[in-house]
Amino acid sequence: MRAMITIMFLLYGGIQLYDVSRIDAGLAMPWPGTVVLFAWAALMTVMPLLIWRWERHGWHRRVLVGAWVGYGWMGVSFLFFWISLAVSLVGVLLPLASADSAFSARDGFLWACALTAVVTVYGFIAARRPRIERVTIHTPKLPMGSRALRVALLSDVHLGALIGVRRLRAILDTLRALDPDLLISAGDLVDGQADHFNGLAPMFAEYKPRLGKFAVTGNHEYFVGLQRALDFHERAGFTLLRGTAAEIAGALRIAGVDDPTGQRMGLPVFTDERALLSDSMPGRFTILVKHQPRIDPQTLGKFDLQLSGHVHKGQIFPFGLLVRLSYPVATGLSALAGGGWLYVSRGTGTWGPPLRVAAAPEITLIEIAPATASQGEGASAKRA
């Protein structure tokens, strides 16, 4: 865990160094300005650690300001890094096509700044407008002619310093409009910097779908402190599935496992999905809820639908391409080779930068409907 965090900070520090070097060169700043720029880059690199420390001390105002400034800058710096590289590449290639089309380093810097500003505004707005994704799965495990079960899925909401009362109210209003039978959270309901998030639990507690609310732990439940996260879920009215399963409406079985992050932190976790699914009931449509979208080949055929999140589809392009290296699965609905389906949510909130670019947030409505006579014995699915 420490090695991974160290690598992440080194990479982030490298991006900061590149960005401020480009800004310094583009503005041709005198040396006092250069010193200020590099001091700012150093401060922003360690800001996530400072926010974490302030949150542990309960310094709400510092956390709020630090999160908006630090994580906002993180998003801008990521975008400027990729856009500046792309503009530099264009600057190299243009003279090859026409000598008259070359532009100066300053022009390239100004273009990079303008494009970064436009994409930042777009990403900030997009992060606050979750799309409604609709999926229908037909299964012979529900009696023909019976009512479809409507399951709402949230994932990676990241309630905390940046996602608070206003954002949660909008999410709950959307859920009430969708009117699902039950709600599932696929982990990371709370954020690692869960500053002042306890006041949000009563809001969730007031929302009571007909068949209940269920959740599993994600990695951020461990970052915020497992007991604190468990208490929040309990007060918010969620049934946490930690290596356990629940029978719903006599036709549905929901099983959930913990995120393995807790194991790396030396905490007790319940991740043995093979044991959990070993007593699966053939006549029940089984949903496996698991934060990270990894498939255990030995459990294929023992569940009908796995619900996962975690990846955010990279959240800010082009990180989605890098995410696919660690999690080689597509977001959305995929058929599994051993039978059943995998649905990977893009996530409902944001982690770190309050931006989303080419990875829109989502709230998912999954209808589990009985198979029709023309569909025979097999299961089928479609996305709206």
- Residue at which a domain ends, from 126, 143, 168: 126
d(CA 327, CA 347): 15
- Between strands 239-240 and 244-248, the pairing is unpaired
Using alpha carbons only, how large is the chain's radius of gyration in Å? 23
Average pLDDT over residues 358-367: 97
Distant-in-sequence, close-in-space partners of 80: CB < 8 Å, separation ≥ 6: 19, 22, 112, 113, 116
The first and second tokens of residue 179, run together, are 């009117």
Q: Residues of the chain with pLDDT > 70: what percent?
A: 94
Of residues 280, 279, 278, 259, the one with CA closest to residue 270: 259
SS3 131: strand
Are residues 109 and 147 both part of a single domain?
A: no
Question: Do both 144 and 111 map to the same domain?
Answer: no
Which tens digit of pLDDT belongs to each residue from 105-154?
Answer: 788 889 999 999 999 999 999 999 999 999 999 998 888 878 899 999 99
Domain end call among 110, 126, 142: 126
Over residues 297-316, the pLDDT tens digits come to 999 989 999 999 999 999 99
Strand-pairing partners, residue 185, are 154, 215
Q: Could you report how far apart the first and last alpha carbons of the chain are, in Å? A: 40
Same domain, 221 and 355: yes
Domain count, the chain: 2
Contact 307, 340 (CB under 8 A): no
Q: At what angle do helices 31-56 and 2-27 cross, to 10 degrees?
A: 150
pLDDT at 376 over 60: no
- In this structure, the strands spanning 380-383 and 362-370 are unpaired
Say if residue 35 is in the same domain as residue 175. no
pTM given for the model: 0.91
What integer is the mean pLDDT of 342-370? Answer: 96
- Of 74, 108, 126, the residue that ends a domain is 126
- Alpha-carbon torsion (337, 217, 269, 193), positive or negative: positive
More confident residue, 281 or 181: 181
Q: Can you give the pLDDT at residue 8?
A: 82
Q: Are residues 60 and 146 in the same domain?
A: no
Q: Which of 333, 154, 184 is nearest to 254 (CA)?
A: 184
Segments forming the whole domain that contains residue 289? 132-383
* CA angle at 203 for the pair 197 and 209, rounded to the nearest 5°: 130
152 and 75 housed in the same domain: no
Nearest-angstrom CA–CA distance, 79 and 230:
35
What was the pLDDT predicted at 265?
86
Residues 122 and 157 in one domain: no
Nearest to 274 by CA among 259, 254, 295: 295
For residues 170 and 114, membership in a common domain is answered with no
141 & 24 share domain: no
Report the distance separating Cα 326 and Cα 104, nearest Å.
38
Q: Quick one: pLDDT at residue 239?
A: 96
More confident position, 32 or 150: 150
Instruction: Judge if 301 and 152 occupy the same domain.
Output: yes
**CATH at 365:** 3.60.21.10
Three-point CA angle 37, 119, 360, nearest 5° = 125
Co-location of 89 and 146 in the same domain: no
- Quick one: 205 and 354 in the same domain? yes
- Omega before 318 cis (within 30°)? yes
Contacts of residue 247, defined as CB under 8 A and 6 or more positions apart, other chains included, come to: 253, 284
Determine the 3-state secondary structure of 11 from DSSP.
helix
